Amino acid sequence: MTEIEARLLAQVAATQSLAVAATGLLFAMSNNDPDLSKAKAVLQILEADQASGLAHLPEPVQDEAKAVLSDLCNRVILRASDYRQQIRQ
């Protein structure tokens, strides 16, 4: 892996981590969604919308991007649950 590739990979990973943490914290702070069902619905809509936005990419890239997107959405909900538990302690 070249230095440029390593930097790009690090930037993508850092951006994903920040996005997951920030979105999870936002959902955790929502007082009108005790079971995170609204947060899950929002993420499902975003995931479906983004998946359709990937149509211009080659199919293998689409598949990988959809898998990453699904993983990130799942991580947001887990992070929101974790944050909510921490806030209540």
- Residue 43 is predicted with a pLDDT of 93
- Residue 89 is predicted with a pLDDT of 78
Low-confidence ranges of the chain (pLDDT < 50): none
- Residue 31 is predicted with a pLDDT of 83
pTM of the model as a whole: 0.83
Give me 36's structure tokens: 């995170």
- Residue 49 is predicted with a pLDDT of 87
Name the DSSP class of 36.
Answer: S
**Helix or strand run (H / E) with residue 69:** helix 59-88
| 10-13, long-range: CB < 8 A, 24+ apart | none
Cα separation, 81 vs 45, in Å, equals 19
Name the DSSP class of 45.
Answer: H
